[in-house]
Amino acid sequence: MKTYHRRSILMGFLACCILTFFLIGRLYYLMIGRAEYYGVKVREVQERERSIKAARGKILDANGVELASNKSVSTISVIYNQVKQPEKVIDVLSKELELDREEVAKKVKKRSSREKIKANVDKTIADRIRNMQLEGVMVDEDYRRYYPYSTLASKVIGFTGSDNQGIIGLEVTYEDILRGKDGVIYTLTNAQGVEIKNTAEHRKEPIPGNDLQISIDLNMQMYAQQAAWKVRQEKQAKSVRIIMMNPNNGEIYAMVNEPEFDLNDPFTLVETDDANASTKQNETDKANSMTEQNETDKENTLTQQNETDNTKVMTEKEKNEKRNAMWRNSCISDTYEPGSTFKIITATAALSEHKVTVKDTFFCGGSRRVENRTIRCHKTSGHGAETFREGFMNSCNPVFMEVGERTGVANMFKWYKNLGLFEKTGVDVPGEASSIFHKQENVKAVELATMSFGQSIQITPLQLLRAVASVVNGGTLVTPHFGVRVISEKENRIKNLSYEEKSAKLDEETQSTMKELLEAVVAEGGGNKAYIEGYRIGGKTATSEKLPRGTGKYISSFLGIAPIDDPKVMALILIDEPQGVYYGGTIAAPVIRQVFENILPYMGIELAFKE
């Protein structure tokens, strides 16, 4: 019995020893062998991440001037487990941030690891809150997009939302280039989620976005925007659009959609039906006298907009529709009947197919009968006998109806395709519209006649500019664009952007003849109000009646090229629904002359001759 008892004690002792050694070994394995692994696990449980916002890349003009940059702001948030004086926190935040006290109270008392109270808080206010040292209140640095020139090229540049991501324009197209990579701050907390004081925090630094240099020239954009604003006021027009482009490579120097909107306050509606309400002063005054923008979150504090009778308040849906219309870039998103500027295309097709020469003679009696329709010339008394050169200078519809008939449907469509009119231009801003043409098999005599002088088709202004550029630049169909190069300051690297070019299949004789005809329009014909002494300017006027016919609403336009013998810049203006005199040669051509008088010396283009 004693032997059995001793044996039991010995077995128990050995078992205890084995278990002890096992536990020691296991502890050694966990504490030493797996220390790094479990250290990471513990840190994951105890760590709280706080984002460090990355600065968005700047948008620079052709000369390096900042058109879009960043302004330091802050994000205010609370951590429930760390708040010691909730009522005081609620009082301070609701007062300093000008927020509803009940809404702040809900967020402060919400049991969450982190609750955002407000973003885009002005740095002065944020610093004031930080200095109060309220436990549980976090003040994190952030950035807000800032546009130094306010309304300049607003529908091209675009803007960002509260998350600092692009919403429209170049801000959207180049989002991946401009957007940086946020950093992170890691802080340790205890089991209750309260940050442990005097513990080292580690961080992953943010990576700023790359800068984007674009082809818009600040000065040229200002000249064009001022001119558009002025003519809109004078003619009480619905809108005015101006595009200036380098015909040789497609770089867009300026694109105006008047009325523009304030990029620093993009959700406040601009009254587009009243020309006097569009812009209160010119862009130069705005640039010189700009005050600090209100950094409060205007997306959430928009004032109610009233309809024209000032009695019915707009619904949120109506506001959004108006905002979308206000943000719309009509130079690329809207099609129109180009009218007589399209005669450049018809003339190019006819000359290329050898269906007409500049000396061919025609007769205009004020109208031309096509099947069962009588189609009139803008000069109802007729131009009489005239050469094709004179018909082009006079913008005579009967001449072009006959030229279109000579050229034929198949050849016309062939050149529409060659000149890129059946495709989008590929411009690097979102929302580009497609052209609208009859199906070739459906084009009969009447359709061919109206198409020949720019009716019964619809294209975008940029499509027209691109097609005409190929006529005067040596026969190259370029891709209109804004993006020029990407600049990475962190990597000290510059990447030039490239765009597709292809042949428009034009012969040198046709190009030379077209340049001569375009110069004659300005020197001797209907575009003479665009003439500038000493410069060789080419161009074409247009006055197109809007659909439906008979409403008395027109688009007056002029397309100018300078210098015509060696084109460096093209400009197209469209004045939508001008009041009073509406002829393109009378009201649109002088605007391009004013713009050219400013920009040609600025571009270093010397006088061709002195009179």
pLDDT digits (tens, 9 = 90+) for 71-97: 988 889 888 888 888 889 899 999 999
What pLDDT is stored for residue 202 in this prediction? 65
Location of structure tokens 């007769």: 363
pLDDT in tens, 428-462: 999 999 999 999 999 999 999 999 999 999 999 99
Helix (H, G, I), strand (E, B) or coil at 193: coil
Phi/psi at 118 (5° precision): -160, 140
Determine contact, residues 77/129, Cβ cutoff 8 Å: no
CA end-to-end span of the chain: 138
Angle, CA 293 vertex, CA 287 and CA 297 arms, to 5°: 145
Does residue 280 or residue 499 have the better pLDDT?
Answer: 499
Catalytic residues: 340
Helix (H, G, I), strand (E, B) or coil at 359: coil
Q: How far is CA 78 from CA 87, 106, 108, 114, 183, in A?
A: 13, 11, 6, 6, 20
Pull the structure tokens for residue 459: 């294209």
Give the type of residue at 193. G
Say if residue 290's pLDDT is above 70: no
What pLDDT is stored for residue 284 in this prediction? 37
How far does CA 300 lie from the centroid of its chain?
24
Q: How large is the average pLDDT for residues 308-318?
A: 66
- Residue ranges and CATH numbers for the domains of the chain are 49-184+201-209 (3.90.1310.10), 333-602 (3.40.710.10)
pTM, 2 dp? 0.83
Q: Using pLDDT thresholds of 50, 70 and 90, give the confidence band for residue 8.
A: confident
Spatial neighbors of 576 by CB under 8 A, at least 6 apart, are 237, 238, 239, 240, 241, 555
Q: How large is the average pLDDT for residues 54-63?
A: 96
What pLDDT is stored for residue 70 in this prediction? 94
